[in-house]
Amino acid sequence: MRFGKKVCYLLASMLVMYSCNSNEHELEMNITNAVNVEENAMVNSILENILNEVEYNMLSIDNGIATKQDSIPFVKIADNNNQENTKTLSINYGQQNSSDYLGKLKRGRITTQIEGEFKSEECCYTVSFEQYYINNLNITGSIKVDSRKSASFENLTFDVTFEEILFTDEKENTYTLSGKLSREWIEGYETSNNHWDDQFFISGTTSGINSEGREYQSEILTPLLVSHACEFIASGEVLFTAENESCTYSYGNGLCDNKGFFTKDGQQNQFEYGRYQFRYQK
Protein backbone atom coordinates (compact mmCIF):
# COMPACT_ATOMS: atom_id res chain seq x y z
CA MET A 1 0.00 0.00 0.00
CA ARG A 2 2.82 2.37 0.92
CA PHE A 3 4.59 1.48 -2.30
CA GLY A 4 1.44 2.38 -4.25
CA LYS A 5 1.21 5.78 -2.51
CA LYS A 6 4.85 6.50 -3.32
CA VAL A 7 4.23 5.72 -6.98
CA CYS A 8 1.21 8.07 -6.97
CA TYR A 9 3.24 10.87 -5.36
CA LEU A 10 6.02 10.34 -7.91
CA LEU A 11 3.62 10.49 -10.85
CA ALA A 12 1.92 13.59 -9.42
CA SER A 13 5.29 15.33 -9.01
CA MET A 14 6.27 14.49 -12.56
CA LEU A 15 2.99 15.92 -13.86
CA VAL A 16 3.50 19.17 -11.90
CA MET A 17 7.06 19.52 -13.20
CA TYR A 18 5.92 18.87 -16.76
CA SER A 19 3.15 21.43 -16.41
CA CYS A 20 5.58 24.07 -15.10
CA ASN A 21 8.05 23.38 -17.88
CA SER A 22 5.28 23.63 -20.47
CA ASN A 23 4.13 26.96 -19.03
CA GLU A 24 7.69 28.29 -19.01
CA HIS A 25 8.17 27.18 -22.61
CA GLU A 26 4.89 28.79 -23.58
CA LEU A 27 5.93 32.02 -21.85
CA GLU A 28 9.29 32.03 -23.59
CA MET A 29 7.60 31.58 -26.95
CA ASN A 30 5.34 34.59 -26.33
CA ILE A 31 7.93 37.23 -25.44
CA THR A 32 7.34 38.98 -28.76
CA ASN A 33 3.59 39.59 -28.70
CA ALA A 34 1.11 42.24 -29.78
CA VAL A 35 1.74 44.38 -26.69
CA ASN A 36 5.53 44.42 -27.02
CA VAL A 37 5.35 45.12 -30.73
CA GLU A 38 2.73 47.82 -30.22
CA GLU A 39 4.86 49.61 -27.61
CA ASN A 40 7.96 49.58 -29.82
CA ALA A 41 5.97 50.97 -32.75
CA MET A 42 4.47 53.55 -30.37
CA VAL A 43 7.74 54.96 -29.00
CA ASN A 44 9.19 55.15 -32.52
CA SER A 45 6.12 57.08 -33.67
CA ILE A 46 6.28 59.49 -30.72
CA LEU A 47 9.93 60.34 -31.38
CA GLU A 48 9.36 60.84 -35.11
CA ASN A 49 6.38 63.06 -34.31
CA ILE A 50 8.57 65.18 -32.01
CA LEU A 51 11.19 65.57 -34.75
CA ASN A 52 8.44 66.54 -37.19
CA GLU A 53 7.22 69.23 -34.78
CA VAL A 54 10.73 70.63 -34.31
CA GLU A 55 11.58 70.49 -38.03
CA TYR A 56 8.37 72.21 -39.06
CA ASN A 57 9.13 75.16 -36.82
CA MET A 58 12.81 75.28 -37.85
CA LEU A 59 11.75 75.50 -41.49
CA SER A 60 9.39 78.34 -40.60
CA ILE A 61 12.23 80.19 -38.89
CA ASP A 62 14.56 79.83 -41.88
CA ASN A 63 11.84 80.92 -44.33
CA GLY A 64 10.86 83.94 -42.24
CA ILE A 65 7.24 82.85 -41.89
CA ALA A 66 5.04 82.34 -38.85
CA THR A 67 5.34 79.01 -37.05
CA LYS A 68 2.22 76.90 -36.93
CA GLN A 69 -0.04 77.60 -33.98
CA ASP A 70 -2.75 74.95 -34.37
CA SER A 71 -1.04 72.44 -32.06
CA ILE A 72 1.39 74.57 -30.08
CA PRO A 73 0.31 77.05 -27.38
CA PHE A 74 3.51 79.09 -27.56
CA VAL A 75 6.64 79.07 -29.74
CA LYS A 76 9.64 81.26 -28.99
CA ILE A 77 12.73 81.73 -31.13
CA ALA A 78 15.81 83.42 -29.68
CA ASP A 79 19.00 84.39 -31.53
CA ASN A 80 22.11 83.63 -29.50
CA ASN A 81 23.95 86.89 -30.05
CA ASN A 82 27.19 85.63 -28.56
CA GLN A 83 27.48 82.85 -31.13
CA GLU A 84 27.25 83.33 -34.87
CA ASN A 85 24.38 81.61 -36.72
CA THR A 86 22.94 79.89 -33.64
CA LYS A 87 19.36 79.94 -32.40
CA THR A 88 17.22 78.46 -29.64
CA LEU A 89 13.75 77.18 -30.45
CA SER A 90 11.40 76.73 -27.51
CA ILE A 91 8.08 74.90 -27.92
CA ASN A 92 6.16 75.50 -24.71
CA TYR A 93 2.94 73.59 -24.01
CA GLY A 94 2.45 75.14 -20.56
CA GLN A 95 2.42 73.58 -17.09
CA GLN A 96 -1.05 72.06 -17.43
CA ASN A 97 -2.26 69.55 -19.99
CA SER A 98 -3.60 71.08 -23.17
CA SER A 99 -4.98 69.22 -26.15
CA ASP A 100 -3.28 69.64 -29.50
CA TYR A 101 -5.24 69.65 -32.75
CA LEU A 102 -4.88 65.85 -32.94
CA GLY A 103 -6.37 65.33 -29.48
CA LYS A 104 -3.12 64.45 -27.69
CA LEU A 105 -2.61 65.90 -24.20
CA LYS A 106 0.70 67.75 -23.88
CA ARG A 107 2.52 69.81 -21.27
CA GLY A 108 6.07 70.96 -20.63
CA ARG A 109 8.70 72.25 -23.01
CA ILE A 110 10.78 71.02 -25.95
CA THR A 111 13.96 73.07 -26.39
CA THR A 112 16.17 72.89 -29.47
CA GLN A 113 19.64 74.40 -29.80
CA ILE A 114 20.31 75.06 -33.50
CA GLU A 115 23.53 75.76 -35.41
CA GLY A 116 23.13 76.68 -39.08
CA GLU A 117 20.11 76.51 -41.37
CA PHE A 118 17.99 73.38 -41.35
CA LYS A 119 18.10 72.83 -45.15
CA SER A 120 21.88 73.16 -45.37
CA GLU A 121 24.55 70.45 -45.31
CA GLU A 122 26.13 72.10 -42.26
CA CYS A 123 23.32 72.12 -39.73
CA CYS A 124 23.23 70.47 -36.35
CA TYR A 125 20.76 70.71 -33.51
CA THR A 126 20.04 69.14 -30.14
CA VAL A 127 16.55 68.49 -28.79
CA SER A 128 16.01 68.28 -25.02
CA PHE A 129 12.94 68.01 -22.80
CA GLU A 130 11.85 69.96 -19.72
CA GLN A 131 9.00 68.28 -17.81
CA TYR A 132 7.58 67.23 -21.15
CA TYR A 133 4.56 64.90 -21.22
CA ILE A 134 2.33 63.49 -23.95
CA ASN A 135 -0.83 61.73 -22.73
CA ASN A 136 0.79 61.89 -19.25
CA LEU A 137 3.77 59.91 -20.55
CA ASN A 138 6.96 61.70 -19.44
CA ILE A 139 9.89 61.86 -21.90
CA THR A 140 13.48 62.66 -20.94
CA GLY A 141 16.86 62.37 -22.67
CA SER A 142 18.12 64.15 -25.77
CA ILE A 143 18.18 63.85 -29.56
CA LYS A 144 21.21 65.02 -31.56
CA VAL A 145 20.87 65.66 -35.29
CA ASP A 146 23.56 66.43 -37.90
CA SER A 147 22.87 67.06 -41.59
CA ARG A 148 25.05 65.73 -44.41
CA LYS A 149 25.03 64.83 -48.07
CA SER A 150 27.08 61.82 -49.07
CA ALA A 151 27.53 59.47 -52.01
CA SER A 152 25.33 56.85 -50.35
CA PHE A 153 22.35 59.22 -50.21
CA GLU A 154 21.22 61.37 -53.16
CA ASN A 155 19.16 63.62 -50.88
CA LEU A 156 19.96 65.73 -47.86
CA THR A 157 20.23 63.32 -44.93
CA PHE A 158 20.30 63.77 -41.17
CA ASP A 159 22.17 61.55 -38.72
CA VAL A 160 19.90 61.18 -35.68
CA THR A 161 21.25 59.96 -32.32
CA PHE A 162 18.85 59.12 -29.50
CA GLU A 163 20.68 59.49 -26.19
CA GLU A 164 19.20 57.81 -23.11
CA ILE A 165 15.58 58.44 -24.04
CA LEU A 166 13.34 57.43 -21.13
CA PHE A 167 9.55 57.11 -21.23
CA THR A 168 7.81 56.95 -17.81
CA ASP A 169 4.07 56.67 -17.23
CA GLU A 170 1.98 57.64 -14.21
CA LYS A 171 2.50 54.23 -12.57
CA GLU A 172 6.29 54.34 -12.96
CA ASN A 173 6.38 51.89 -15.87
CA THR A 174 9.41 52.75 -17.98
CA TYR A 175 10.73 52.22 -21.51
CA THR A 176 14.27 53.16 -22.55
CA LEU A 177 15.62 53.77 -26.04
CA SER A 178 19.03 54.60 -27.51
CA GLY A 179 20.36 54.28 -31.04
CA LYS A 180 21.23 55.90 -34.34
CA LEU A 181 19.02 56.54 -37.37
CA SER A 182 19.40 58.13 -40.79
CA ARG A 183 16.65 60.54 -41.89
CA GLU A 184 16.70 61.05 -45.67
CA TRP A 185 14.66 63.93 -47.10
CA ILE A 186 12.97 62.33 -50.14
CA GLU A 187 10.11 64.75 -50.97
CA GLY A 188 9.34 68.44 -50.48
CA TYR A 189 12.88 69.82 -50.30
CA GLU A 190 12.30 72.18 -53.25
CA THR A 191 8.98 73.59 -51.96
CA SER A 192 10.09 75.81 -49.10
CA ASN A 193 6.69 77.43 -48.59
CA ASN A 194 4.83 74.13 -48.22
CA HIS A 195 6.01 72.08 -45.23
CA TRP A 196 3.14 69.62 -45.52
CA ASP A 197 4.63 67.83 -48.52
CA ASP A 198 7.89 67.00 -46.75
CA GLN A 199 8.60 63.27 -46.53
CA PHE A 200 11.51 61.30 -45.09
CA PHE A 201 12.89 57.77 -45.18
CA ILE A 202 14.12 56.51 -41.79
CA SER A 203 16.63 53.67 -41.35
CA GLY A 204 18.88 52.40 -38.55
CA THR A 205 18.69 50.54 -35.23
CA THR A 206 17.64 51.22 -31.65
CA SER A 207 17.73 49.21 -28.43
CA GLY A 208 16.77 49.43 -24.77
CA ILE A 209 14.61 47.94 -22.01
CA ASN A 210 10.87 47.65 -22.59
CA SER A 211 8.06 48.10 -20.05
CA GLU A 212 8.29 44.41 -19.09
CA GLY A 213 11.94 44.85 -18.16
CA ARG A 214 13.13 42.87 -21.19
CA GLU A 215 16.06 43.85 -23.39
CA TYR A 216 15.05 44.55 -26.98
CA GLN A 217 16.55 45.55 -30.32
CA SER A 218 14.76 47.20 -33.23
CA GLU A 219 16.29 47.14 -36.72
CA ILE A 220 14.61 48.85 -39.67
CA LEU A 221 14.52 46.42 -42.60
CA THR A 222 12.51 48.57 -45.03
CA PRO A 223 12.80 52.38 -44.56
CA LEU A 224 10.02 53.97 -42.51
CA LEU A 225 8.02 56.61 -44.37
CA VAL A 226 7.49 59.75 -42.27
CA SER A 227 5.67 62.90 -43.33
CA HIS A 228 5.15 66.34 -41.82
CA ALA A 229 1.49 65.92 -42.78
CA CYS A 230 0.91 62.79 -40.69
CA GLU A 231 1.42 62.07 -37.00
CA PHE A 232 1.92 58.34 -37.65
CA ILE A 233 4.57 56.37 -39.52
CA ALA A 234 2.92 55.49 -42.83
CA SER A 235 4.88 52.40 -43.86
CA GLY A 236 8.08 50.40 -43.34
CA GLU A 237 9.23 47.12 -41.81
CA VAL A 238 11.06 46.51 -38.54
CA LEU A 239 12.84 43.43 -37.19
CA PHE A 240 11.98 43.42 -33.48
CA THR A 241 13.87 41.19 -31.04
CA ALA A 242 12.96 40.81 -27.36
CA GLU A 243 15.67 38.85 -25.54
CA ASN A 244 16.30 35.91 -27.93
CA GLU A 245 12.98 35.93 -29.79
CA SER A 246 12.28 37.87 -32.98
CA CYS A 247 9.44 38.87 -35.27
CA THR A 248 8.95 41.33 -38.12
CA TYR A 249 6.34 44.07 -37.96
CA SER A 250 5.02 46.51 -40.54
CA TYR A 251 3.52 49.99 -40.24
CA GLY A 252 1.09 49.26 -43.06
CA ASN A 253 0.63 50.32 -46.67
CA GLY A 254 1.07 54.09 -46.62
CA LEU A 255 -2.16 55.23 -44.97
CA CYS A 256 -2.02 57.87 -42.23
CA ASP A 257 -3.35 55.68 -39.44
CA ASN A 258 -2.04 53.88 -36.36
CA LYS A 259 -2.58 50.38 -37.69
CA GLY A 260 0.10 47.79 -38.34
CA PHE A 261 0.68 44.06 -38.31
CA PHE A 262 3.42 41.64 -37.30
CA THR A 263 4.29 38.21 -38.59
CA LYS A 264 5.33 35.41 -36.26
CA ASP A 265 5.46 31.67 -36.94
CA GLY A 266 3.78 32.31 -40.29
CA GLN A 267 0.79 34.04 -38.68
CA GLN A 268 -0.14 37.69 -39.29
CA ASN A 269 -1.37 39.64 -36.24
CA GLN A 270 -2.90 43.14 -36.25
CA PHE A 271 -2.03 45.87 -33.74
CA GLU A 272 -2.64 49.59 -33.13
CA TYR A 273 -0.04 51.93 -31.64
CA GLY A 274 -1.76 55.31 -31.29
CA ARG A 275 -2.74 55.04 -27.61
CA TYR A 276 0.53 56.59 -26.37
CA GLN A 277 0.21 54.61 -23.13
CA PHE A 278 1.80 51.44 -21.82
CA ARG A 279 -0.39 48.36 -21.43
CA TYR A 280 1.79 46.41 -19.01
CA GLN A 281 1.35 47.68 -15.46
CA LYS A 282 3.59 47.01 -12.46
Q: Which residues does 198 contact at the CB level (< 8 Å), separation at least 6?
A: 55, 59, 185, 187, 188, 189, 227, 228, 229
pLDDT above 60 for 281: no
Cα distances from 241 to residues 31, 219, 247, 254, in angstroms, run 9, 9, 7, 24
pLDDT above 50 for 78: yes
pTM, rounded to two decimals: 0.83
Domain contains 3: no
176-198 in b/e form (b: 16+ CB < 10 A) is: bbebebbbbbbebeeeeeebeeb
Domain contains 203: yes
What per-residue confidence (pLDDT) applies to 6? Answer: 47
Are the C-beta atoms of residues 256 and 249 closer than 8 Å to each other?
no
Q: How confident is the model at residue 30 (pLDDT cuts 50, 70, 90)?
A: low
Query: pLDDT digit string (tens) for 135-178?
Result: 999 999 999 999 987 656 678 999 999 999 999 999 999 999 99
Q: What is the mean pLDDT of residues 211-220?
A: 94
pLDDT above 70 for 15: no
Domain contains 17: no
Q: Report CA torsion sign: 217, 220, 225, 227.
A: positive
Domain contains 64: yes
Give the C-alpha separation, 156 to 10, whole Å: 70
Compare 277 and 129 and report the one with higher pLDDT.
129
Q: What is the mean pLDDT of residues 198-207?
A: 96
Compare 281 and 102 and report the one with higher pLDDT.
102
Domain containing 76 equals: 34-272
Per the structure, how many domains does the chain have? 1
Query: pLDDT digit string (tens) for 31-67?
Result: 777 788 999 999 999 999 999 989 988 887 776 665 6
Domain contains 16: no
Domain contains 7: no
- List the single range of 75-84, 109-118, 132-141 with lowest mean pLDDT: 75-84
* Percent of the chain's residues with pLDDT above 90: 46
Domain contains 49: yes
Give the C-alpha separation, 181 to 226, whole Å: 13
Q: Quick one: 213 exposed, middle or buried, by C-beta within 10 A (0-12, 13-18, 19+)?
A: exposed
pLDDT above 70 for 262: yes
Give the C-alpha separation, 109 to 133, whole Å: 9
What per-residue confidence (pLDDT) applies to 48? Answer: 95
Domain contains 39: yes
